[in-house]
Structure 1
Amino acid sequence: MIVHPPEVNNNWFSIVQKQGFLDDFMPLFKVIDDKGRYLHWDELRHRIGNKDHTLVWSAVKSARMPGSQMLSGIPFSTKDEIPTVNIIPSISRRCSFVDNWCSGPAFNAMLGALAAHEYFIEDLVEEESIASSQLEGASTTRRVAKEMLQSKREPRNPDEKMIFGNFKMMQFAWTNRDKNLSLSLIKELHSIGTEGIDDEKYTPGTFRTDNSVYVSDNKGDVLHQPPSCDKIDARLSILCDWGNIDHSSLNTKDYIHPLVKAIILHFSIGYEHPFNDGNGRVARALFYWHMFKYGYKSFKYISISKLFKKDPIKYGKSYLYTESDKYDLTYFIDYQCQVIEKVASDFVDYIQSTINERNNFNMWLFNTRISNNLNDRQRAVLQTMGDKCKKAFTTKYLEEAYGVSNNTARKDLAGLVKLGFLKENKTGKPITFTGALGYSDLKALRSTIVDTY
């Protein structure tokens, strides 16, 4: 549970001035603290000593008010409490980072010179599907989940069905990125993600019809009671209308960066909780849908749920901080931006390190004259292993991947066996050729072979 803020006293300045404590309180009159943090009362109260709680919070809220952007048109706004956001420096910086590294042009520039990058990039597509399901309680391991998705086998239990449903939901978000936001799109996301898991529990694609749904902690205490089911359609229709406004247009007076808007959509579905279950997955899928819609292609390969899974308490608190402070969305947006910067940085670092490792390996192949004995298909197989995407191959794999005959595929694999990069296993059917994952391990395999060139 969190500690809610005290009520604001609009006369705080006069009171402090009369008491002669103005010099003590003015350092608190700022939007963020000295470390750039936008602190909720739950955290701020530990940092103010014995000062009057109401006056301190009133000073902080007074400082934040002038820079707040009103977000009218979002369904949980009322006449008295219109959601707001303060675009503090940390949010602006992270929006710039996403523009620089995650947009379509940035993605293409980063990978354009990297031949055959599809192998190691496509391996990342499943990450959000797996992590989002694990965040919701799926116990299937990442290894087993990847094996299921990559081999396209049918899921065997409810946890695997959840992961498979999330995978289909992410694919749907990508393929339908050009569509307008609508009730039918939100319902279809839910239906695709939950159908066949436990239809009685989820009622796929159907909004809840009672108020029995709530969010609780591990002790059973209610943390969030969603709005009444009576007007779900009306409220989400308003959200759809707001979602379809182009707030990133240079001509708008109500500019909202696409990343910030995607996060607000994420919060809105989580707050509304329109379905009996599976709301978190739909909320996160809608975030991705909006990022895809505005051209942020890199997010196909970036998983935000990986970090939510590591610290679900912070994820939950970011919702509660916003709800308890008159729908100040800055808390939720700032936390989400922190997470996104971390996972996007990891993605960029991964791409850059892979490029460096590939270049070093290719130089090694050249210096050792091994490259003289490789054709393009064999180079691609080595890259697939070096990028840690796949280490076991069959002739059928090469036939389908490169459109060659069985005889040509067998010669390619036999050549890599001769060079020391693969070992042939004849004990099973089909015959497999197994190597290593990672460029350093490939070099290690090769070091056991005596050069004959």
Structure 2
Amino acid sequence: MARSKVEKAPTFNFPDDLKEIGSLLGQCDVTDAKGRYLHWSQFKWRVDKENAESLWKAVKFKRMSQYKQIGLKDENDNPFVYCTPHSMEATLYQLVKITGGNVGTVADSTASDSLQSRFLVSSLIMEEAITSAQLEGASTTREVAKKMLEEEREPIDEDERMILNNYLLLKHAEQKNKDELTVDMILEFHRIATQGTTENNVIPGEFRADNDIYIEDGDGNVAHQPPDFHLIEERLKALCEFANQDHSGQGGCDFVHPLIKAIVLHFMMGFEHPFRDGNGRTARALFYWFMLKSEYKLFKYISISKLLKEKPKDYGLSYMYTEKDDNDLTYFIYYQLDTISKAFEELKNYLDHKVYEFKKISESLEKTAWGSTLNFIQKDLIKKAVKEPGRVFTIKEVSKSYSITDNTSRTYLNKLTEFKLFLSTKDGRKTIYIAPSDLLKKLNSAKI
């Protein structure tokens, strides 16, 4: 199989290359004039062709002088490094400003606590579970998958099983956010991610036992051959040590920004590729786990997989740039920070839309005889019913979506039936509630 097309960056040889670049150092910086951290493959055609390699070495020298080591190495004992140029620090500052607050600080019109703590959490975790599975090849539609999760029905095929597993994995990662990382925890993450699936002969919760695995780029070329399987346990122990190490910068220890640390954990799981399948899902769960552990609570609301799914080639390139330039993780960090920034922009749009929809239905209801007697959840159920006439609601689905008890769910749904806003009937022994096709007409005609 052909090797990847990303060209290996020229290496800076100290001290020999220093004489060659002395006069060029004033012209170069770690990033270009637009703040971009370019790989050699992107850099060489933006500068004078005859002088490209010398200019690159001047840039490389400046980067090397800023490199920070993290204590992790590849299988050939070469260290992984990164640096934090001004443009990266600016992005980190903006992200910390956003992620330090609650959901209301993201939306233009402040989202209420009810909006934040009830339907948004489960709704958006479902979104991430679905797109994470689709990124790995699951073909079930979003609507069908979301209904399966809401109704807690059993998956009917392997694609649905992968989505349910992802949902359970994210919930599990959230529950474990006070724990230190161990090899056993990584194995448990993987077991949940792949239970009941057969892709690539995966064995849930077990490391691969051979080296016949490699990662392709978007064009079918070999992009990465993971380290030897005999080294997996030893290397993951080192990764756990890195995850658990104090990087707060206090008391004389090194400072590693929590966002950067989470991104490094994500990268390293992909690099090590310890499992036959499910490495990506496990890596994203690990990122999610560390952000929640570091008390960046808003990360439970964003879907990184959705954006990775839209540009999988860029995701692969960010890995390859790191490998083709002396394990410089800065490329991957920039890519992930950009992805996270876009994910928060999408969250803002999502929230604004949800708040607008909710306010619109609330305003309509306020003009009816029921307006003052309905609570937030009942109004939100009516909003869903208006959008989807004929939709079936169950007690279990509503209790799960809004984090309420089955009894409370039953009370709310029965009240909507009593007001003749919903219809109820029996499905075997279970009561189901149906959104009538004329609900909107009923609301309009009932205005006071």
Distance in 2 (CA, whole Å) between partners of 1:40 and 1:61 is: 10
Counterpart of 2:416 in structure 1 is 412
Counterpart of 1:115 in structure 2 is 114
Letter aligned with residue 40 of structure 2: W
Counterpart of 1:106 in structure 2 is 102
Task: Specify every segment of 5 or more residues in structure 2 that has no aligned partner in the other structure, as ranges.
Answer: none
Counterpart of 2:63 in structure 1 is 64
Please tell me whether the aligned partners of residues 291 and 299 of structure 1 are also in contact (alpha carbons under 8 angstroms).
yes
- CA shift for structure 1 position 314: 0.2
- CA shift for structure 1 position 91: 2.5
- CA shift for structure 1 position 270: 0.5
Return the match for 2:445 from 416, 433, 449: 449
Report the CA distance shift for 1:252/1:171 in structure 2 as closer, same or farther (over 3 A): farther
Please tell me whether the aligned partners of residues 128 and 304 of structure 2 are also in contact (alpha carbons under 8 angstroms).
yes
Counterpart of 1:297 in structure 2 is 297
Report the CA distance shift for 1:63/1:216 in structure 2 as closer, same or farther (over 3 A): same
Counterpart of 1:125 in structure 2 is 125
Counterpart of 2:198 in structure 1 is 198
Return the match for 1:87 from 78, 84, 89: 84
TM-score of the pair, normalised by structure 1: 0.84
Radius of gyration: which is bigger?
1
Report the CA distance shift for 1:127/1:389 in structure 2 as closer, same or farther (over 3 A): farther
Counterpart of 2:72 in structure 1 is 74
Please tell me whether the aligned partners of residues 177 and 290 of structure 1 are also in contact (alpha carbons under 8 angstroms).
yes
Return the match for 2:11 from 7, 28, 32: 7
Counterpart of 1:40 in structure 2 is 39
Task: Specify every segment of 5 or more residues in structure 1 that has no aligned partner in the other structure, as ranges.
Answer: none
Report the CA distance shift for 1:107/1:319 in structure 2 as closer, same or farther (over 3 A): same
Show the 5 A alignment for 1:2-401. 2-10=6-14, 11-12=16-17, 14-15=19-20, 22=23, 25-26=24-25, 28-71=27-70, 73-76=71-74, 81-103=78-100, 105-107=101-103, 113-115=112-114, 117=116, 118-198=118-198, 201-217=201-217, 220-359=220-359, 361-363=361-363, 365-366=365-366, 369-370=367-368, 373-377=371-375, 379-386=376-383, 391=388, 392=391, 396=395
- CA shift for structure 1 position 42: 1.0
Report the CA distance shift for 1:433/1:206 in structure 2 as closer, same or farther (over 3 A): closer
Letter aligned with residue 76 of structure 1: D
Letter aligned with residue 289 of structure 1: W
Please tell me whether the aligned partners of residues 177 and 293 of structure 2 are also in contact (alpha carbons under 8 angstroms).
yes
Letter aligned with residue 85 of structure 1: Y
Please tell me whether the aligned partners of residues 190 and 282 of structure 1 are also in contact (alpha carbons under 8 angstroms).
yes
Farther off after superposition, 210-219 or 147-156: 210-219
Amino-acid identity (%)? 34
1:296-341 superposed Cα distances (whole Å, 9 cap, x missing partner): 2222221101011001000000001011111110000000000001
Q: CA RMSD in A?
A: 3.3
Could you say what secondary structure the match of 2:260 adopts?
helix
Distance in 2 (CA, whole Å) between partners of 1:389 and 1:243 is: 47
Letter aligned with residue 207 of structure 2: F
Please tell me whether the aligned partners of residues 308 and 315 of structure 2 are also in contact (alpha carbons under 8 angstroms).
yes
Please tell me whether the aligned partners of residues 186 and 282 of structure 1 are also in contact (alpha carbons under 8 angstroms).
yes
TM-score of the pair, normalised by structure 2: 0.85
User: What is the aligned length?
Assistant: 430
